[in-house]
Amino acid sequence: MLVSMALRNLLRRPVQSLIACAAIAAGLTSTIWMTNFQDGNWIGLLDDSMRAAAGHVVVQPKGYQDSQDAELLLEDSGAIADQLRALEPDGLVLRRAFVQGLVASSTNTVGIAVNAVEPELEREVSELPAKLVEGAWLEDKKQIVIGRELARKLEVGIKDKVVLTISSGGQIVGLPFRVAGIFASGSSRLDSFFAVAPLSKVQGLMPGRNDPATQVALQLPSYEAPKDLVDRVRAAVGDGPEVLTWREVIAEAVKAAELDKGFAAVIWAILAIVVSVGVTNLLLMSLFQRTRELGVMLAIGMRPVDVGKLLLAEGAILGVVGAIAGFALGTLLTIPMAKYGVDLAVMQSSAPVSNVAIDTVMKSHFMWGKSLIWTAWFMSLAVLASLWPAVRAGRLEPVEALRAT
C-alpha cells in the first residue's frame, strides 16, 4: 500500500512529477550518450595509437622518450625481438624505426617523416592498409607508401620513383624507393608529410649500424597487459635500453583522454545537481502541501520512519520511471552513433597523437554494463535527493502538523 500511495501522491501533481522525471531522464540520456561516445572514441583512439605507435610494452634507446632524437637507435633489434617473442609466444613483436629527412621526386623535394616497419607484421596492426586509395601495401622491397597530399606535392603516382635522403651519423645518405601505395588517412596533416617504408631497406640509410631500430614493441592479444610484463621485459633485455608501457610512450594521448574524462565528470556533476535539486524541490513542495495529511498519518499510528519511507518511495518511483525513460532514450540515441558514427576527419589535425593513422569515423561504443550502472546511479540519486524531505517528514510533530492548513 505504501508504494501504491506514493504513486498516487505523485499522480496528484502530474505536471511537477513529469518535470522531475524528465529531468532525471534527460540527465541519464545525456550521460549514457556522452560516456558511450567518449569511451568508444578514446578506446578506439588509444587502441589505434597503442597498436600503431607503440605496443603494450616498448623497448627503445635510453633517452629517446625525452629527446625523440632520431639518431638514438637500438642495435641488434632482431635479437631483442627474439627475446620478446620467447617471453610472450602469443604476442606480436614489431620493430620500427622513425626517421626524418627529405623526399625528392623528379619535380619536387619536401620534408618527410618515415615510419620504417616490417610490412607483413605492421599490416596486422596499422590502420593505413585500409586507408589506401591507390596501389597496394608494402612488400619487403624498396617500396614506400605515402600520403595523398605528399603525392600531390611530389607530383608522383604509383610505381614512380622517389629518393629518400636522411642525415645519419653526420653523413647525408639517400636511397631510391618506388611508390607502392597512396593513402588518405583523413588527416591532411598526416597525409602531407608521412610515409611508411620497409625497415630492412631503410636500415640501408644507416651505415655502420647493426640491425638498427627505434623501437621494438610487444603487443598482446588482450587489451590489458599483465601487470608484471614490464618487469619481465626489463629482466630479459637488461639495463641498456629503456622499457616503457604504452601509456608512457603515448603519454599525450593518455593525458588528453584523462582530461576529457575529467571534463565529462564536471558535466556529470552539474547534471547530478540539476536532477537532485529537481527531485528535492518537488518533494519539499509536496511535503509543505501535505503537512496536515502526513500529520493525520502520524496521529493514527504511522511511525515517523514510515512517513519518511513514503517520501523516499515517491523519490524512488520518480527515479525508476525517469531512469527507465533515460536508459531507453540514451540507448536509442547511442545505437546509430555506434553503428554509423560521425566522421571528424577535418578535426583530426588537432588530434594529440602524432604520426598515427587513426580511424577518423568517431563511433560510440555501447557498453551495457556501464550504462546500467549509470541507470542504477540515477535511480539512487533520486532516492538520495528525497532523503532530506523524508527526514523532514519524519520529524513532523503530529499536533503541529494537524494544525496546518
Partner 1 sequence: MGESVLSTIVSVRGAARTYEQGSLQVHALRGVDLDIEAGEFSALMGPSGSGKTTLLNLIGGLDTPTAGSVSVDGLDVSSMDRTRRSDLRRERIGFIFQSYNLVPVLTAQENTEFVLMLQGVPAAERAQRARETLAAVGLQGMEDRKPGELSGGQQQRVAVARAIATRPAVVLADEPTANLDSETKAALIDLMRSLNEEQGVTFLFSTHDPDVIAAARRVVTLRDGRIASDERR
The nearer residue to partner 1, 89 or 301, going by C-beta atoms, is 301
> Which 3-state string (H, E, C) describes 257-284?
HHHHHHHHHHHHHHHHHHHHHHHHHHHH
How far apart CA 250 and CA 234 sit, in angstroms, is: 19
Q: Is residue 352 involved in binding partner 1 (CB under 8 A)?
A: no
> Which of 1, 66, 90, 350 touches partner 1 by CB under 8 A?
1
How far apart CA 146 and CA 181 sit, in angstroms, is: 7
The nearer residue to partner 1, 15 or 300, going by C-beta atoms, is 300
Kindly identify the residues of this chain, within the stretch 273-332, that bind partner 1 according to CB under 8 A: 292-293, 296-306
Count the site residues for partner 1 by CB under 8 A. Answer: 21
Q: Is residue 15 involved in binding partner 1 (CB under 8 A)?
A: no
- Give the shortest CB-385-to-partner 1 separation in angstroms: 22
Would the CA dihedral through 387, 391, 392, 393 be positive or negative? positive
Q: Is residue 390 involved in binding partner 1 (CB under 8 A)?
A: no
Query: Which amino acid, residue 28?
Result: L
> Which of 12, 159, 261, 339 touches partner 1 by CB under 8 A?
12
The nearer residue to partner 1, 159 or 395, going by C-beta atoms, is 395
**Block residue for cell numbers 597512396:** 182
Strands annotated E in 39-131: 57-60, 92-104, 109-117
- Give the shortest CB-284-to-partner 1 separation in angstroms: 19
- Give the shortest CB-398-to-partner 1 separation in angstroms: 5
Phi and psi based region of residue 353 (left: phi greater than 0; alpha: psi -120 to 50; beta: remaining): beta
- Give the shortest CB-5-to-partner 1 separation in angstroms: 6
- Give the shortest CB-299-to-partner 1 separation in angstroms: 6
- Using alpha carbons only, how large is the chain's radius of gyration in Å? 31
- Give the shortest CB-345-to-partner 1 separation in angstroms: 58
How far apart CA 375 and CA 326 sit, in angstroms, is: 8
Q: Which three cell numbers stand for residue 364?
A: 560510440
How far apart CA 398 and CA 302 sit, in angstroms, is: 10
Which window, 2-10, 79-87, 219-227, 278-286, contacts partner 1 (CB under 8 A)?
2-10
> Which of 5, 332, 335, 376 touches partner 1 by CB under 8 A?
5
The nearer residue to partner 1, 44 or 304, going by C-beta atoms, is 304
The nearer residue to partner 1, 283 or 337, going by C-beta atoms, is 283
Q: Is residue 197 involved in binding partner 1 (CB under 8 A)?
A: no
Give the helix ranges, DSSP H, for 68-178. 77-87, 119-125, 148-154
* Cβ neighbours of 60 (radius 10 Å): 23
How far apart CA 2 and CA 307 sit, in angstroms, is: 9
Q: Give 127: exposed, middle or buried? Use CB within 10 Å, 0-12, 13-18, 19+.
A: middle
- Give the shortest CB-285-to-partner 1 separation in angstroms: 16
- Give the shortest CB-3-to-partner 1 separation in angstroms: 12
Binding site for partner 1 (CB under 8 A): 1, 5, 8-9, 12, 292-293, 296-306, 398-399, 402
